[in-house]
Structure 1
Amino acid sequence: MVYDIKGGAISSLLLPLVNKIETGRIHSIFTRGINIQFDDSHLFLSETQQPLSAFGINISKERLDHVIKSVRVGDLVVKKQHALVLYSECDVIAIHYTGLTGIDLSFPTISCQKETISQTLLYRYLQEKKLEKQIGLKMDDELLEKLDQLSYMPKLDKTSKLAIIDYFLGRGLGLTPSGDDLLMGFTMAVISFHLNQEWLDSLAYKVAENKTTYISTAYFHSLLHDHLSENFVDLVKLLDADNTQEIEVVIDEIQQYGHTSGNDTLYGFWLGLNMVSKS
């Protein structure tokens, strides 16, 4: 039986890739979505009520629930010219590209200048959240030393940049370890203000060593290709926001993500903003 799915949303990062015929496998399954692994790309299938992943396709909750009940880890997935096709024991599920709306998840342009970062509502809101007490890394002397080094990152030579990235990369537990999430947030601030290409080159070099999880690596690749998940696009745009309620809604949504993943990313972003404002 073929179960056809039409309608939903697709990240702009995936649009150039959908016509590439490629086979993959179901990597992992959660109540909120399915990770699909291909040789050269990654895809996260979730529901339309959730923020769209940088490498995501979102479909209705009803249809996603059907897919989750039908597939198992390891099931074959094929990108065809007209659809993403999942092969399970009981169904062939076809998610048709023509019914998907492309969503621009490229890195947003902001008007905020680095000299005024500390005056923004977002910076002050994040500062008041005391995120350092809510992250998944233990605040010991070694971590405090590394966080201090991040605060003057532009002054570090390339060897030191590589060393500090190496310290955080893969540190912690879960599909996206806390150290990875912190690096993601920090790097989002670096990119927001076009600050330090050597940092981005160093991060790309270390990520290529495959020292962290497959899922984290996919997120880093998206970031280094100037794409963010929908809630992080909203976060960066908040640097220009003058409405506290708008900030609260976005931050609260991010904080609900994972055990500490949202807080780890937010803390890294705040660290990055603090560093940029003083550079």
Structure 2
Amino acid sequence: MEITGVYAGKLVKEWQNKTGSVSLHSMFKHSFNLTDGHSLLHVGMLENNIVPFGLHVSQYHFHLLQHAIKKDQVKMKVSHGKLTIGSMVISLEQVKYYDPLKIEWQPFCSSTDTRFVCHLASTFNGKTGLDFTKELAGNAPYFDYCCSEKKEEVTRYFIHYIGRGLGLTPSGDDFTVGLLAVHHVSPFLSTVFLKGLADYLKEDVTTDVSKAYINAALSGYFSLQVDQVMTAFAYEEPERLHQAVRQLGEMGHTSGYDTLMGIVLGLQQVVRQNVIEGV
């Protein structure tokens, strides 16, 4: 049986040239992750989200795949551009790849922008997995180290945030993805931070799933819902922004709000840098 109507994140293209067996990495109610021993392939329902390394199918097809995987001895493999799970096949060459909009970002530095971002943060600070009160007040040196050119300081950021929190993607990791989303459209993170983060993730410092999201973000790839928030910010569309924030906030237990906090604090850093530079 060939499954059609599949959407995918851009990083799934890397699987087109892979050949070999695939195994189950982790199973959840609305998604599961496969691995070839080197990277993860997320499989979920289309109505939930589109992630950079994910395949997204209809609810009907997802339950068929999930049921097949739960059976003992189910054979899974990838070859000739196709993913096979039992008797079901997904052509990785025929899926519809999600291509995010290219954002034309305007300098973000006015007092109106600053007040709006601070107000937005106040609406969901209590919903995050970590307490970001000090970061919002500008009294968190570990956070400021994300802009440092000193290796020892950015390392302190990694130790403090990466892997910190509970769940499949710890809160500190989701927060970092939010920072990277802002950096992708308005660079503010130091080169030492970016290189150091990629190296730090090679160690056993957080979950495999979280590493996949952060590495994707380092390459400029984000979930559909993160892209929608950033696009609404860029084009200054309040109604669209509030809807995008609500949808991202509903993701996971606290993951969505942790990511939003990273976006908000990343925007605040951009504001500070632009004011200092007189942009």
Q: Output the TM-score relative to the length of structure 2.
A: 0.86
Partner of 2:121: 127
Counterpart contact for 1:121–1:244, Cα < 8 Å = no
Distance in 2 (alpha carbons) for counterparts of 1:9 and 1:141: 40
Is 2:164 aligned against 1:165?
A: no
- What secondary structure, in the 3-state scheme, does the structure 2 residue paired with 1:68 have? helix
Counterpart contact for 1:136–1:172, Cα < 8 Å = yes
Query: 4+ runs of 1 displaced by more than 4 Å?
Result: 73-76, 138-146
Superposed displacement of residue 93, structure 1: 1.9
Partner of 1:84: 83
Partner of 1:212: 206
Counterparts of 1:169-208 in structure 2, within 5 Å, are 169-195=162-188, 196-208=190-202
Partner of 2:89: 94
Partner of 2:59: 61
Partner letter of residue 120 of structure 2? L
Q: Output the TM-score relative to the length of structure 1.
A: 0.86
Counterparts of 1:1-279 in structure 2, within 5 Å, are 3-72=1-70, 76-87=75-86, 92-105=87-100, 108-116=102-110, 119=113, 123=117, 126-129=120-123, 131-138=124-131, 147-151=140-144, 153-155=146-148, 157-195=150-188, 196-279=190-273
Higher relative contact order (CA 8 A, sep 6+): 1
Partner letter of residue 102 of structure 1? Y
Farther-moved stretch of structure 1 (195-204 vs 59-68): 195-204
Partner letter of residue 13 of structure 1? L
Farther-moved stretch of structure 1 (134-143 vs 65-74): 134-143
Distance in 1 (alpha carbons) for counterparts of 2:129 and 2:197: 21
- What secondary structure, in the 3-state scheme, does the structure 1 residue paired with 2:179 have? helix
Query: Can you list the C-alpha shifts for 1:131-154, whole angstroms capped at 9, x where unaligned?
Result: 322211246989989834424642
RMSD: 2.8
CA separation of 1:83 and 1:167: change in aligned 2, threshold 3 A: same
Distance in 2 (alpha carbons) for counterparts of 1:117 and 1:99: 47
Unaligned runs of 5+ in 1: none
Query: Can you list the C-alpha shifts for 1:118-172, whole angstroms capped at 9, x where unaligned?
Result: 627973562342x322211246989989834424642462211111112111111
Distance in 2 (alpha carbons) for counterparts of 1:254 and 1:275: 21
Counterpart contact for 1:37–1:43, Cα < 8 Å = yes
Distance in 2 (alpha carbons) for counterparts of 1:203 and 1:73: 38
CA separation of 1:39 and 1:116: change in aligned 2, threshold 3 A: farther
Larger strand share, 1 or 2: 1
Superposed displacement of residue 271, structure 1: 1.1
Farther-moved stretch of structure 1 (189-198 vs 243-252): 189-198
Query: Can you list the C-alpha shifts for 1:179-210, whole angstroms capped at 9, x where unaligned?
Result: 11111112222232122222211211211112
Partner letter of residue 176 of structure 2? L
How many residues align? The count is 271
